[in-house]
Amino acid sequence: MFVRNLVFAVVASLAMGGSVVVAQTPPVATGYGPLPPLRRVSQKPYGTLNMKANLGSFKLLSVTDPNTRVNIPGEGQLVFDFAGTVMVNDYKGAPIQIIGNIKKEYEKYGRQAFHGKGRMILEGTWRAVQWFGSDLTLFRWYGQGLIRIVGEFDRDQNIGEYWYEDPAKKFYWYAQSTTVTNPQMTRGPQAAPRERGGAGGG
């Protein structure tokens, strides 16, 4: 039910059109250079979602309108530094920018697969963008749509975090799949996650 409500909310937001005011975070220098300036691919309402995780996975999704069954792609500018595997489905937009040691392993029927360590920058629309791996040291998505995240505890029992414009207001990833919207939908306070499973452990 919650995911269905998210879909209705995102579809309604898409229908509104127009722009929203968001904090313009200054570019941050990392091992792969400064972040690019924020760029739009449409005038739909946008939000800025940031994330970090030592281990885990995410999948940016398109949205199917429950009434018309029309598929609405996710969109925006996506910048992330990572190690692992990335799969991109039905991407349309500027050429994907790659910095670091990332190799394209597959491309066919609108699907692309990459593996390695570095930075990827996408500016366009997509049916899906999926990552799984480690060292997600930077993630910034300026755009609109849905993302599912699955966290994993690292050896120090740390788990991923995500936040919107205000880095002081962070939320945790969870070990089960969690669906997050961009722009943000207001939700109640979130408790710190606890490791699942029996007593003891790593």
User: How much of the chain exceeds pLDDT 70, in percent?
Assistant: 77
pLDDT digits (tens, 9 = 90+) for 39-82: 999 999 999 999 999 999 999 999 888 888 888 999 999 999 99
* Residue 26: predicted pLDDT: 47
* Residue-level pLDDT at 186: 66
**Tokens representing residue 198 in the block:** 């029996």
82 with 162: CB under 8 angstroms?
no
70 CB-contact burial (10 Å; exposed 0-12 / middle 13-18 / buried 19+) = exposed
Query: CA 15, CA 101: separation in Å to the nearest integer?
Result: 40
Ramachandran region, residue 200 (left: φ > 0; alpha: ψ -120 to 50; beta: rest): left
The pLDDT assigned to 30 comes to 66
Q: How far apart are CA 8 and CA 91, in angstroms?
A: 23
pLDDT tens for 152-192 read 888 889 889 999 989 999 999 988 899 999 999 865 444 44
Amino acid 106: pLDDT: 96
pLDDT for the residue numbered 56:
95
What is the predicted pLDDT for the residue at 176? 85
